[in-house]
Structure 1
Amino acid sequence: MHSKRRKILFYCQSLVGLGHLTSSLLVIRELSTYADVDLIHGGQGLQQMPELPGFRHLRLPTILIDSATDELYAPDSDKPIEVVWAERVAAIEQFVDWPYDAVIVEFFPFGRRRLKREILGLFATVRQRCGAVPIFCFVREILVPAPLDAEQRMVKLVLEHIHTVFVRGDPDIVRFEETFSLTAEIAERLVYVGYVSPPPPASWPIRRNMIIVSQGGGEIGKTLLRAAIKTAPLLPDYHFLVVTSSRALTSEIAELQALVSSPNVLVVSFLNDFQENLQSAALSISLGGDNTLMDVISTRTPALAYPYAGNSEQGLRIEKLAGKGFVLPLTETDLASERLSIKIRETINRTYPQQTLAINGAAEISRRISAILEGEFYEG
C-alpha cells in the first residue's frame, strides 16, 4: 500500500521520430496510478497528449539533429541555437514544481550526449533541491555501437548519477552487452523489464484479409509503401491499408495514390487505432522500428519487416526476432512485386510461434520504482 502519492519528474527528448515519447507515455500511464508525473519533452510532439491524473507536461522549444550535417538546429525558430538553449532552460525552471521523489531520464547517458549540459544541469538542480533521490534511466535494449572511450564516459555517468538502468527488452531475444561492451561494469544497476508495448487486448477480434503497410518517416519508408502498392494487384483477395507517416506532405500522399492501380488499396496518412487495426489484420509490413514491432508482437500479428539500412539497431532487432519466428525480414530484392507477393502469402500461412515475449515493461518499471520509493531501498 502506498503511504502517500508520489511526485516524479520525467525527461524525454527525442531527436528523431516519436517512438521514445510513445514508450515514455506508456510508462507514465502506469506510474500515474500512484504518482503525479511532470514530463519535460522535446523533439516531435504528439497531436494530443493523454489525460492522466496528476500529469503535467512541458514541451520544450524543439531542437533536432540535421541528418545531413549532424548539427543541432531549431526547426521552429530563426534565433541562434544558443538562444534556444537558454529559452529551454528558462521554460524548465518555470515548469518544475520542487521537490520530487524520483527522476526518470529516457536514454541518457547511453545517448542524447548532445543534450548533456541540459540534462546534467537538471541533475545538479535535483540534487540541490531534493537531496539524494533516485535518478532512473530508461533505455532500449540495442544501442548504436560506440567507441570504447565513449562507453567509458557512459559508465562513469551511470555510476555518478543513475540508481537503476531499466532496459526495455527481453534478454532471451537480445542482451544489452551485445551492443554495449562495458555492460559488466554497470551490471549491478541494470534490470531488464521487458519490452514496453501497449497491453494485449482483452478479447481478440477475428483476423480479416487486410494487410497493414506502415512506415516511420522519411524517404526510406516510401520505397516500402510503393512496393506494396505495386504488389496489391497480384493479391486481389487482400485489402491493403497503406499508412504514410503523419508528417507526409499532401504531394507525397498524392504521389502514392497515383501509383494505385487496383481497387484493393487505401492510402491514409494516419491510423488512430493502429493496434486495434493490427489485431484484425492478416499481416503487418513495416520498417521494423521498435514501437511498431512491439505492437505487432503484442497483437501476435504475422509480420514482414524491412530494416532501415542506416540503422544497425533495427537490423539487429529484426534479425533476433526473426530467429524466433516473430517476424520475417525483407531485403531490397524482396520488394519486386512477384517476390513480395510470394513472401506475403508464405508469411500469412506460417504457424505463429508459441513462445511469448516479455512485453510488460511499462508495468514492470512502475512496480520497481514503487518498491524502491516505498523503502525496499538498497544503497546502490
Structure 2
Amino acid sequence: MHSKRRKILFYCQSLVGLGHLTSSLLVIRELSTYADVDLIHGGQGLQQMPELPGFRHLRLPTILIDSATDELYAPDSDDPIENVWAERAAAIERFLDWPYDAVIVEFFPFGRRRLKKEILGLFATVRQRCAAVPIFCFVREILVPAPLDAEQRMVKLVREHIHTVFVRGDPNIVHFEETFALTADISDRLVYVGYVSPPLPGQWPIRQNKIVVSQGGGEIGMNLLRSAIQTAPLLAEYQFLVVTSSRASTTEITELQALIRSENVKVVSFLSNFQEELLTAALSISLGGDNTLMDVICTRTPALAFPYGGNSEQGLRIQKLSGKGFISVLSQTDLTPALLCTKIRVAINQPYPDEIIAMNGAVEMSNRIALIIDELVTV
C-alpha cells in the first residue's frame, strides 16, 4: 500500500486527565504500521509509554490549569511560567527530526487556546521546513460550547492551517454541530472516523458476578467509590472491584479501605487490564469519562455513569448514550446504598441494545492519513 515509510509529527497536550493522550496513542499504534511517529506531549504522563517501531516521544515540562483560578501553572517548577515556556520551546527544537510527511495536532484549534503561541509557532516552522505538508486535527465529537466570535476564530484557523479535521465520534450518536454552531463553515474538511477504542477481543469470555467501579484518571469521584463500597453489603452475591485513580493518595486509599464492611470488596489503585476486567464484569460504574465509556461500549458491558458536574462534554455524551440504552445515568441522590443497590440490579437485568456504534476510529483515521499523504506525494 505504501511506497515508502512515512514520518509524522504528532502534538498532544493534556491540561487535565489522561484521555487525550490515551486516544492519541491508539492512533499512533495504527500509524506506526507505515510511519515513524514523533510525539510531543505534555500534562499528566503515563507510567509507561508504548514501545512501537519508529516511535519517539518528548514529554515537555508540565503546564496545567489551576481549576480554582483558571490560570496556567507549572507544577514541577519554581521558575516563572515564561521560563517554562522557553524551556519547552528549546526542548521541541532539539527533538524535531526533519523532514515530516504530515503533522497531527490533537484538539487545536477547537481547544488548547492557551497553547496557541506554541502550536502556531510549530506550524510556522513546519511550513518553513516542509512546505505544504498536510496538518491534521484530531478532535472529540463534543466541545465545550464557545461564544460565536471564538468559533469564528477557530474556523479561521482551520481554514488557514488544517487539511482535515478528524472527529472521533459517530454521527448516529452525536453530531459535531450540536456543540459547534459553525460546523457548516468547515464541513468540507470534516470527517467522522468513529470513536477511538482499543481493539476488540478475539473471544468473548463469560461474564461473572463482578462489578467494576472506577474513578478514571482524574482527581474527582471519590464520593462514587465510597457509595459503591457502602452498597456492597446489600449485594453479597457480587464482587466489587473498586479502582481508584492512579493519582489517589495513600490517605484516600486507606480511607476507602476503612469503609469496607463486607468481604466482597477489593480496592486497587490501578488496573493495567481494565478492558479485560470489563469483559468479565456484570456491570461498570464510573464517572463516564471519555476513555472509560469507550471501553464500556467496546466490551458491551452494562453501565451506570455518574457525570462530573464540571464537564458539560461528558454530560452530553452520557445523555446521548443513555438515550440509546447503552448506559444508565446516576444522580447525586442515587448515591445512597438503598437507591444505588436498586439502580445496579435494574442495570444488570435490562437487555443490552442491538445498535452497533462506530468504534474503529484509530484504524479509520490512520488509513485516511496514509491515502492523503500518498496522493499529495504523487501529485
| TM-score normalized with structure 1 length | 0.98
Q: Deviation at 1:218?
A: 5.1
Which residue of the partner structure matches residue 297 of structure 2? 297
Distance 1:128 1:34 in 2: 25
Paired residues, number: 379
- Residues 64 and 72 in structure 2, CA contact (< 8 A), matched pair in contact too: yes
SS in 1 for 2:91: helix
- Flag the 1:378–1:231 CA change in 2: closer, same or farther, 3 A: farther
Which residue of the partner structure matches residue 59 of structure 2? 59
Which residue of the partner structure matches residue 275 of structure 1? 275
SS in 2 for 1:375: helix
- Residues 23 and 197 in structure 2, CA contact (< 8 A), matched pair in contact too: yes
Which residue of the partner structure matches residue 309 of structure 1? 309
- CA deviation map 1:265-305 (0-9, x unaligned): 00000001000110000000000011100000000000000
| Equivalent residue runs for 1:368-379 within 5 Å | 368-375=368-375
Which residue of the partner structure matches residue 115 of structure 2? 115
Distance 1:286 1:46 in 2: 20
| Equivalent residue runs for 1:232-271 within 5 Å | 232-271=232-271
Q: Which amino acid aligns with 2:41?
A: H
- Flag the 1:378–1:65 CA change in 2: closer, same or farther, 3 A: farther
- The answer to whether 1:102 aligns with 2:102 is yes
- Residues 371 and 377 in structure 1, CA contact (< 8 A), matched pair in contact too: no
Q: Deviation at 1:216?
A: 2.5
Q: Which amino acid aligns with 1:297?
A: I
| Equivalent residue runs for 1:346-365 within 5 Å | 346-365=346-365
- Flag the 1:128–1:86 CA change in 2: closer, same or farther, 3 A: same
Distance 1:197 1:13 in 2: 19
- Residues 287 and 306 in structure 1, CA contact (< 8 A), matched pair in contact too: yes
Q: Deviation at 1:199?
A: 1.2
Distance 2:168 2:258 in 1: 40
Distance 2:271 2:103 in 1: 33
Distance 1:9 1:220 in 2: 33
Task: Report runs of 4+ in structure 1 exceeding 6 Å deviation.
Answer: 376-379
- Residues 17 and 218 in structure 2, CA contact (< 8 A), matched pair in contact too: no
- The answer to whether 1:165 aligns with 2:178 is no
Q: Which amino acid aligns with 1:263?
A: E
- Residues 233 and 261 in structure 2, CA contact (< 8 A), matched pair in contact too: yes
Distance 1:326 1:242 in 2: 21
Q: Which amino acid aligns with 1:235?
A: L
Q: Deviation at 1:157?
A: 0.3
Taking every aligned residue pair, what percent have the same amino acid on both sides?
80
Distance 1:149 1:230 in 2: 48
Distance 2:378 2:63 in 1: 37
- Where does the alignment leave 5 or more consecutive residues of structure 2 unmatched? none
Which residue of the partner structure matches residue 205 of structure 2? 205
- Residues 235 and 341 in structure 1, CA contact (< 8 A), matched pair in contact too: yes
- CA deviation map 1:301-341 (0-9, x unaligned): 00000000111111100000001111111111111111110
Which residue of the partner structure matches residue 142 of structure 1? 142
Distance 2:245 2:18 in 1: 11
Distance 2:136 2:292 in 1: 25
Q: Deviation at 1:219?
A: 5.4
Q: Which amino acid aligns with 2:128?
A: Q
Which residue of the partner structure matches residue 71 of structure 2? 71
Distance 1:82 1:150 in 2: 25
Q: Deviation at 1:378?
A: 11
Distance 2:182 2:221 in 1: 34
| TM-score normalized with structure 2 length | 0.99
SS in 2 for 1:7: strand
| Equivalent residue runs for 1:79-90 within 5 Å | 79-90=79-90
Distance 2:342 2:72 in 1: 43
Q: Deviation at 1:200?
A: 1.1
Which residue of the partner structure matches residue 45 of structure 2? 45
